Amino acid sequence: MSQVHILAARSPISFESELVSCSSTISTSISISFNDKTTNTLLDRFISTPVTHDTTPAIDDGRDEFAVPGLPPVHYGHIDTHLRNGVMKAAELAADGEPDAEKAFFVADLSYVYSQHLRWKRLLPEIEPFYAVKCNPDPYVLRLLKALGTGFDCASNGEISQVLSLGVDPSRVIFANPCKATSFVRQSAKAGVEMMTFDNTDELYKIARAHPGAKLVVRILTDDSKSLCRLGLKYGAPLVTVPALLAKAKELDLNVIGVSFHVGSGCYDTAAYVDAIARARAAFDMGKAAGYDFTLLDVGGGFEDATFERAASILKEALDAHFPCRDKMRIIAEPGRYYVSKAFSLAVNVIARRAPPGLEGGGEDSEEADPEQPSVMYYINDGVYGAFNCIMFDHQTPQPYVLCLNGSFHVPASVDMCAASVWGPTCDSIDVVCPVTRLPRTLQVGDWLAFENMGAYTVCAASQFNGFALSNAVYTTGGGVGSAEVRRLLRGSALA
């Protein structure tokens, strides 16, 4: 059974000072209440002391607020600060009678994306990252990665258009979908996107008609049995079929420049890269036999934050073993969740509660019939049809921590816990976020929960089923040394 994580500072910061720097209207108090009887007094408790700011122009030290035209503002400060600010803003909106005042919201720390890129360049300097847009096509994430010089792995005409609209050069895009609509192939030719993958003969005929000048990459099948999402069930040519595919490409006078593979999204066995590189070596040799001189190797995605150091080490060892001479060889990869998973957190409001009669009061004296079975059902304002679609589509098991309990951000370590389940807001019984977890016995309607690691395959696949709106994002560049650099890159990207 999973345990709830009680909110604690995740870096040595002072929340009081950051609250001052991030809001011109909210005071530094952190004790709040959302009960109907006290809603009208919220502003007296939290915004009675306006905060003034020095507006003297100065060199950007990473603390000023700015925005790219057409997008929300980018703030400064730790992600926890903005989770709390969002809760207090919801209280303010509720006091004003705003509909959906307690709407769930993301907080995105763009400095995390930046730090992950620096980490990639340090550990895999030879491999160019082509960010998998499908993972999270957030406009600020894409702008930052463009400014950092990454390429982009696109799977559709829509993703290609989104990336190119930012000013990305078409040479920095790979159309990494082995089975594309003919119209998409034709549009790629018009847009100047030349690199694209294939894994079957029909795709070669299609490309020969619609984009004969394409630079093709044969997608080979690898062992992805140790990954969360097994892409090999859908894509990848078995090695035994590669010689015939290359012979057909030669017959159609198509230019095949290299090999790609994907060990599966969310690969938790880094040894899978060893087998994949060995298969890629065999495919390179097949290309030589077919009359091609391959110059590109695409090692795909599957990179996990927790195992990245190990994966990088294994990749380098495998490349040295199978491709010792790489002077004229370009190596790219397709990381997605590696960049964004931990960059986004989600705050949700408890909108309803169901409990047996003995637990309705929520008091500490309430007893559970079975302490290991959920005795209380909590309903939150985002679910599996929204940001938590990662549960169904990406095999994730998100767990909450308490953001606000009974009007306070302080949750005592001694708080009494009980087994509970957490449900989304739709009128569908499959909309369950946590079948079993442990939450404070005194958690009530109006309290707030938060979920970490919500940046990968969440909002990108969210729907508005049942009329529920998508959760919006609040952006920050963090409070660390990279904040000013992230802002500089984003500003430069907006002006380019």
pLDDT of residue 370: 65
- Residue pLDDT, tens place only, 27-66: 333 344 444 433 333 333 333 333 333 333 334 455 678 8
Digit-coded pLDDT (tens) for 363-387: 444 454 566 788 899 999 998 888 9
On the question of pLDDT at 433 being above 60, the answer is yes
pLDDT of residue 29: 37
CA-wise closest residue to 400 among 442, 349, 340:
349
Residue with the two structure tokens 């306006």: 50
Give the whole-angstrom CA distance, residue 241 versus residue 253: 19
For residue range 78-117, what is the model confidence (pLDDT) as tens digits?
Answer: 999 999 999 999 999 999 999 889 999 999 999 999 999 9
> Within a 10 A sphere around the Cβ of 304, how many other Cβ atoms?
20
pLDDT of residue 153: 98
Decide: 222 and 278 in contact? Cβ < 8 Å.
no
Tens of pLDDT, residue by residue over 194-211, are: 999 999 999 999 999 999
5-6 vs 255-260, strand pairing mode: unpaired
Amino acid present at 219: R
What is the distance between the alpha carbons of residues 404 and 164, in angstroms, rounded to a whole number?
A: 41
What CA–CA distance (Å, rounded) separates 488 from 213?
A: 38
Distance CA 29, CA 46 (A): 6
Q: Domains (ranges, CATH) in the chain?
A: 110-340 (3.20.20.10)
Q: What is the pLDDT of residues 217-244, one digit of tens each?
A: 999 988 655 545 544 455 689 999 999 9
Taking alpha carbons only, the member of 157, 169, 167, 93 closest to residue 492 is 167
Q: Say whether 313 sits in a helix, a strand or coil.
A: helix
Cross-strand bridge partners of residue 439: 418
User: What is d(CA 225, CA 279) in angstroms, rounded to the nearest whole number?
Assistant: 16
Ranking 280-284, 306-310, 370-374, 443-447 by mean pLDDT, the lowest is 370-374
- For 475, the enclosing helix (H) or strand (E) is strand 472-476
Residues 6 or more apart whose Cβ sits within 8 Å of residue 138: 108, 340, 459, 473
pTM of structure: 0.84
Q: What one-character-per-residue DSSP string does 218-264 give?
A: EEBP---TTEEE-GGGTS-B-GGGHHHHHHHHHHTT-EEEEEE----
Catalytic residue among 22, 179, 390, 427: 427
The pair of three-digit structure tokens given for residue 295, joined into one six-digit string: 């110059």
* 424, 389 contact by CB (below 8 A): no
Q: What is the pLDDT of residue 300?
A: 93
Closest CA to 89 of 36, 8, 140, 32: 32
- Tens digits of residue pLDDT in 438-496: 999 999 999 999 999 999 998 887 777 787 788 999 999 998 888 999 999 998 877 66
Give the model's pLDDT for residue 208: 98
* Residue 404 annotated in active site: no
- Tokens found for residue 192: 């100047």
| DSSP string for 32-61 | ----GGGGGGHHHHHSSS------------
